[in-house]
Amino acid sequence: MQPLVISHTALANSLGLGVSATMDALRSRRSGLAPCAFEDVDLETYIAKVEALDDFRVRADLSAWDCRNNRLAQLCLEQDGFAQAVELAKRKYGASRIGVFLGTSTSGILQTELAYRRLDPDTGALPPDFHYAETQNSYSLAGFVLRYLGLSGPSFVVSSACSSSVKVFANAQRMMAAGVCDAAVVGGTDSLCLSTLYGFNSLGLVSHQPCRPYDAERDGISIGEGAGFVLLEKAPAQVSPDAMLLLGVGESSDAYHMSTPHPEGLGARLAMQRALGSAGLQASDIDYINLHGTATKSNDASEGKAVADVFGASVPCSSTKGWTGHQLGAAGVTEAIIAMLAIEHNFLPGSINTRQLDPAIAIDYRIENGAGKVNRVLSNSFGFGGSNCSLVLGRKA
């Protein structure tokens, strides 16, 4: 594929607001996980919550879109000069030539959960101040971001569980290659809600302690919330050697099970191989892999086998979900930006909370942080139903 320039990024999650807050937490090994204290949830687990959201509201002219998910989106758009960067892009391309392609798993479903607590006792009707289309509707996130940024280009939301906010990189690449738009805001937002906390608990996938990716005794995920955005632009004829690039994208589907990955990692392997092929690179060209690494028994075993098949045990790997929790629909973009930070700072993030590596997984999994030249990285995101996507990010060769 023709590389695209990643000209700007923004993050908001439990580690803090802005990209530098996440980088500082990674360096100091400060996790964003804490014992669950959210609404009236009664679960013995850990979550990664964005505390600033509790007292935050969306811009007044967009009050119909006010819900926890869109508040988190706005909070992120206000970080790292992102909205200002989009404003400059509007002057360059025009508002109608910038697409908005975003991922989320549950959109603003918390707003509906709270509305059901206020049903009319006589009619059973939802409260009049509940706006389904602007809050829970899956398109809510893109509709809100489009309006907040004053854009009018093509827009949609992908909801493919944990791969949502990485799949949109592929969508944006195709839309730009087809000439539908010249630039794109991609990324995703996922916020805490009762459906995901109790839902994953019902599946037996929630850990009672902070998650431990790739640990021999791993026992499940820690759910988190967060948002991340990236501004993608077509590469000029002369690309700066310091420019961050989207070099390759690989997608696949397991078509195996509704919630369990293929045990041999066939879909994961295919996504990684396609990403490398898309970038015109070999496995030996990758300096670091940010793994999906949810800390469930089946995910880490399946992904680890796939990584071993493609890369052997020669490429440093880690999962950063011990820091951020599993942000579901926002996990992909968050981890892609962390992978870019690895390049920018020649920094290899380790794996917080992991104590004893699973000896059955034969990859170069790093627990401790490290340093080294990092030019190109691969970032994995694998969703329920075997919806797999891998990105290759890095500098010009």
Residue 396 is predicted with a pLDDT of: 83
pLDDT at res. 40: 96
Catalytic residue among 67, 292, 317, 389: 292
Cα of first residue to Cα of last residue in the chain, in angstroms, is: 14
> Per-residue pLDDT for the chain (397 aa), expressed as one digit of tens each?
999 999 999 999 999 999 999 999 999 999 999 999 999 999 999 999 999 999 999 999 999 999 999 999 999 999 999 999 999 999 999 999 999 999 999 999 999 999 999 999 999 999 999 999 999 999 999 999 999 999 999 999 999 999 999 999 999 999 999 999 999 999 999 999 999 999 999 999 999 999 999 999 999 999 999 999 999 999 999 999 999 999 999 999 998 998 889 999 999 999 999 999 999 999 999 999 999 999 999 999 999 999 999 999 999 999 999 999 999 999 999 999 999 999 999 999 999 999 999 999 999 999 999 999 999 999 999 998 899 999 999 998 7
Amino acid at 36: C
Predicted TM-score (pTM) of this structure: 0.97
Tokens of 360: 């059955």
Cα-based distances in Å from 342 to 20, 23, 90, 347: 12, 9, 29, 5
For residues 234 and 176, is the Cβ–Cβ distance under 8 A? yes
Structure tokens at 88: 């400059």
Give the C-alpha separation, 260 to 270, whole Å: 17
Beta pairing partners, 370: 348
Contacts of 92 (CB under 8 A, 6+ apart): 183
Angle between helices 68-77 and 109-116 (to 10 degrees): 150
Q: Is 292 a catalytic residue?
A: yes
**Predicted pLDDT of residue 185:** 98
Q: 94 Cβ partners below 8 Å, 6+ apart? A: none
* pLDDT at residue 226, as a whole number: 98
Quote the pLDDT of residue 33.
Answer: 98
SS3 for the chain is CCCEEEEEEEEEECCEECHHHHHHHHHHCCCCCEECCCCCCCCCCEEECCHHHHHCCCCHHHHHHCCHHHHHHHHHHCCCCHHHHHHHHHHHHCHHHEEEEEECCCCCHHHHHHHHCCCCCCCCCCCCCCCCCCCCCCCHHHHHHHHHHCCCCCEEEECCHHHHHHHHHHHHHHHHHCCCCCEEEEEEEECCCHHHHHHHHHCCCECCCCCCCCECCCCCECEECEEEEEEEEECCCCCCCCCCEEEEEEEEECCCCCCCCCCCCHHHHHHHHHHHHHHCCCHHHCCEEECCCCCCHHHHHHHHHHHHHHHCCCCEEECCHHHHCECHHHHHHHHHHHHHHHHHHCEECCCCCCCCECCCCCCEECCCCEECCCCEEEEEEEECCCEEEEEEEECCC
Residue 232 in tokens: 């993608």
Cβ 232 vs Cβ 253: under 8 Å: no
Tell me whether residue 355 is exposed, middle or buried, using C-beta atoms within 10 angstroms of its C-beta: 0 to 12, 13 to 18, 19 or more: exposed
Is 345 one of the catalytic residues?
no
Enumerate residues 6+ apart whose C-beta is below 8 A from 40: none
Closest by alpha carbon to 96, among 169, 165, 160, 180?
A: 180
Catalytic choice (8, 131, 262, 326): 326
Question: Cα(217)–Cα(196) distance, rounded to whole angstroms?
Answer: 23
Catalytic residue (one of 162, 181, 317, 389): 162
